[in-house]
Structure 1
Amino acid sequence: MKLGKEFTTRFEGIFRLWLFPYAAVFVYNPEDVEIIMSSTKHSEKSVIYNILKLWLRDGLLLSKGQKWHERRKILTPAFHFNILKQYCEIFERTSERLIENLKRSSGEEIDVLPEISEFTLHSICETSMGTRLGDDTTEVKTYKKAILDLGGIFYERLIRIYLYIDCLYYLTPLGRKQKKYLAAVHSFTENVIEQRKEYIEKNGINFNEQDDEDSFSYKKQKTTAMLDLLISAEKDGLIDREGIKEEVDTFMFEGHDTTASALTFFFMELANHKNIQDKIIEELKDIFGETKRPIKMDDLAKMKYLDRCIKESLRIYPPVHFIGRKVSETTVLSNYTVPAGSQCHIPIMFLHFNPRVFKNPYDFDPDRFLPENSVGRHPYAYIPFSAGPRNCIGQKFAIMEMKIATAKILQEFHLVPVTRPSDLVLTADMILRNDGPVLVKFIEREKS
């Protein structure tokens, strides 16, 4: 991260890097980012993503061409508005479980990430996978630890070019560790699939007629779990068992680890800005009064200030901090000719710190996202969920989860700072993380 900051400060908008045998161009101005991301022309992922192949194989994140189009078509209905609104109750329930865990350590310094990670893992399983996990099982703990360990391994491999050679890498201690952790991860996701299949064998798939036919691309129906769509597609011959495993591995990772990172940094910022916490509380009182009734989909649309706070946190701490694409044809970026076949990397965090777009970019200021302050902003200047045809299919799901969790927690706790933004030492493995714990005190509010 330090080197990235040094280079993006020294060079304006673009620089190239040669690491034999690979050459790459880094772009972090909105105009160049739009050229790369706005069409399917440069949609193939860069060579760096090959290190994820053994884990995610050809899931939606890594697949390309016709396979990507077919998978996207199958999965898009799982994130339709009518499906998402059914998840409010589940997010409410998993948030309550998180609150109970936090109350056991009320007033103490808490390492936020492990607590939040458990919440997001239970949430993705109970929503998109339709499977409820047991509490604190060995299997769940093993899966979460394996995900964290894989992040460190992939980072180590990323910065050592000679380890890109598979036959060499798998002879190293690092390669052997990766096989061990991947076995744990794949075992966990296979169990999730089997549990849902057993349920469907007994109860069938709950398809219903849907309201907005034009917005659905597969079956023109709706179901309560993404995994149900995949299982149904398998029966229709549109995907095989390996394909289901690819997508479940992809969404289990992206649906829990990225949101856990986002919420960890967001709670740290809220703890460090009491005035912003207070404004969110006032907004919640306007919506709910003094009650703690369940949160409905209509309530989320009224949380406009909370929405701006989340957007600002994602600007400063984008969980997916880096996108890499292969340039498919000779392209001009910032008046430089980039030959076909080049690797193009977009450091999203430094795109978001562009002072031409965001004044005082290192300050936490939710009002940047007031409608009047967003007029004229380049659409590719802010891309925490990627952009263009390969944008994140689950971005509405993630924002919904973050809003419900934050609203529920702030109704119960004052967040008091321990870790300051200046204390952070950000690390760039697959997901943005801090090199060390992110500590916050959760102090219960007085009962009214």
Structure 2
Amino acid sequence: MFFYLFCVAIFLIAIHVLFNYNAKARLIFKLPSTKSTFIMGHALDVMVSQVELFRYARNMAAKFSGIYGFHAFPVSSVCIYNPEDVEIITSSMKHNEKSNLYRFLKPWLQDGLLVSKGSKWQQRRKILTSAFHFNVLQKYFVTMKDNDKALIESLKKSNGEPVDIVSTMTEYTLNTICESAMGIKLREKESELGKSYKNAIYSLGKDLVKRFSNIFIHPDITFYSTILGIRQTKYLNTIHSFTKSIIQKRKEALNNYEVSDENNNEEELGIKKKRTAMLDLLLSAQKHGIIDDKGIQEEVDTFMFEGHDTTAAGLTYAILLLANHSDIQNKIVEELHGIFGNDDRDATMDDLAAMKYLELCLKESMRLYPPVPFIMRQITQPCKLSNFEIPKNTLCSIHIYDLHRNEIMFPDPHKFNPERFLPENSVGRHNYAYIPFSAGPRNCIGQKFAMMEMKSSVSSILRNFELLPVTKPSDIVFIADIVLRNTEPIYVRFVPRR
């Protein structure tokens, strides 16, 4: 018996040495961090609920200055949230590959722009960049105004009662991205499919985080034997069915245009004439053999997700903050009155450009509540971060949430203070201290679209309603997710202005 126990002990010690004393692990353990456990390293620290996982990251950021390490074989990670290190990782093509853990997104997004790399990423980025040119954004803006009006009519029906702004803003941004970037207007039937699509994305995101935080289900062979893997297949069927229907409808609509005359009814075709959609560029590229059906599906899945979910989060927290800060809300209203007076005309692109204070408020909202709270890169060659040697093939997690709350860059960091983004108050601030749309070559391709959508919708809301608080920022309990999410609905009252 003693001999068998001795053999087991020797075996476990050998495993521990193999896992935690290899060359990469020794370098990672030199980084500031919590105490590791036998064999498991730091794995047990993150095998917690989504609420606890979010708190864990915040506690680690508060405990260590700008950088800490995490190791649970085979995952070695460096977590950074200081602008100097963020610049090293994001400013060049050297470390522009997404982390290996983004492979968990592959069944959903395949090789779309978010997760692709190398020449494929460069080609897709080149194709899609023109979809967000200023002249094209002007065409999208026409659609945004239509959806703004629908949003206002929807909010009027609340009669001043509390409204769940999470679901409201998500519906608004999904309709907007479908009609502007995809060229398809959601009708009643498609709207029901849209709700299923939104619910599937929300559930899929939660399960992806659960997989990320549990190293035992990282391998596909174990993951797909769990309830999470079974549910993922179900969610992906819903998501891909919705986006495939979007692509098919756009193809049919464009084909109808080629054989129709000017008397055709635009609404029957489910598309607006003379409005270029991002999807049109992909379909045009397909005709030239640059992209195939699978590639189009990848990019539509990517942009449908990124184009509605993150913007909805940005709008949700901006409206929450404005409802709870009446003085700042009133300043925006004064600015809008200076632009429009008592005229109820539609806003123009020039009007949006004149909304300087509103833009400061949106920037400050995304500082406090970045829609994407973290991003990940793969360090493909050795580098130095905060004077620590980081080995190649290390996962690098950039905690945007904590980066934005750096009290050196942003004094009194938890205060909602839009004036901190005035030019005179931004002097000397590190260029990589604020990255709500990521940074460097892999920054968000649709950031101008997102800002335009947020300014358009918030200005429309404030021209029609006074925002009164129900949910307070202190009520929010965040969960770890791909997008910044909370545990409960967020309520705001929309009282019509006289």
Is the TM value for this pair above 0.5?
yes
Separation of aligned partners in 2, 1:309 and 1:303 = 10
Q: Is the 8 A contact 2:140 2:275 kept in 1?
A: no
Unpaired runs of 5+ residues, structure 1, are: 206-221
Distance in structure 2 (CA, Å) of the matches to 1:71 and 1:79: 13
SS across alignment from 2:245: helix
**Rounded Cα–Cα distance in structure 2 between residues aligned with 1:105 and 1:225:** 32
Q: Is the 8 A contact 1:42 1:326 kept in 2?
A: yes
Listed as ranges, the matches of 1:20-419 within 5 Å are: 20-135=73-188, 137-204=191-258, 224-419=276-471
Q: CA deviation at 1:351?
A: 0.3
Residue 66 (structure 1) shift: 0.3
| Partners of 2:377 and 2:395 within 8 A in 1 | yes
The Cα of 1:145 is off from its aligned counterpart by: 1.1
Distance 2:153 2:367 in 1: 30
TM-score (norm 1): 0.94
In 2, are the aligned partners of 1:89 and 1:294 still within 8 Å (CA)?
A: no
Cα deviation code 1:373-413 (max 9, x no counterpart)? 11111111000000000000000000000000000011111
Q: Give yes or no for contact 1:223–1:229 (8 Å, CA) kept in 2.
A: no
Choose between structure 1 and 2 for higher RCO, CA contacts under 8 A separated by at least 6 residues. 1
Q: Secondary structure at the match of 1:279?
A: helix
Where has structure 1 moved over 3 Å in runs of 4 or more? none
Which segment is superposed worse, 78-87 or 158-167? 158-167
- What amino acid sits opposite 1:42 in the alignment? H
Partners of 2:277 and 2:64 in 1: how far apart? 46
TM-score, structure 2 normalization: 0.85
In 1, Cα distance between equivalents of 2:283 and 2:474: 47
Identify unmatched segments of 5+ residues in structure 2: 1-53, 260-273
The DSSP-based 3-state class of the residue aligned with 2:428 is: coil
- Whole-angstrom distance in 2 between the partners of 1:364 and 1:54: 39
State the distance in 2 between where 1:101 and 1:135 align.
15
Distance in 2, matches of 1:64 and 1:139, equals: 31
Q: CA deviation at 1:48?
A: 2.1
Cross-structure match for 1:6: 59
Q: How many residues align?
A: 430
Contact 2:140 2:181 in 1 (8 A): no
Q: Deviations over 1:270-310 (max 9, x none)?
A: 00000111000010011111112111111111000000000
Instruction: Name the structure 2 match of 1:428.
Output: 480
- Over residues 133-183 of structure 1, what are the superposed CA-to-partner deviations in whole Å (9 max), with x where a residue is unaligned? 114732121111111111211121121111111111111111111111110
Deviation at 1:204, TM superposition (A): 4.5
In structure 2, what is the Cα distance between the partners aligned to 1:423 and 1:75?
A: 39
Superposed CA RMSD in Å reads 1.3
- Counterpart amino acid of 1:141? K
> Per-residue deviation at 1:203?
1.6
SS of alignment partner, residue 411 of structure 1: helix
Distance 1:36 1:435 in 2: 32
How big is each residue's C-alpha offset from its partner over 1:317-367, in whole Å with a ceiling of 9 and x where there is no partner? 111111111111110110001011111110001000001100000000000
Tell me which amino acid in the other structure corresponds to 2:232.
Q
Q: Distance in 2 between matches of 1:204 and 1:3?
A: 56
Deviation at 1:314, TM superposition (A): 0.5
> What letter is aligned with 1:154?
L
Name the amino acid aligned to 2:471: T
Tell me by how many angstroms 1:47 deviates: 2.1
Q: Letter of the aligned partner of 1:233 in structure 2?
A: A
CA distance in 2 between counterparts of 1:378 and 1:64 reads 28
Secondary structure in 1 matching 2:347: coil
Q: Which amino acid aligns with 1:38?
A: S
Secondary structure at 1:384 match in 2: coil
Q: Give distance in 1, aligned partners of 2:401 and 2:382.
A: 26
Identical pairs, percent: 53
Take 1:135 and 1:306, find their aligned partners in 2: how far apart are those partners?
Answer: 33
Asked if residue 440 in structure 1 is aligned to residue 492 in structure 2, the reply is yes
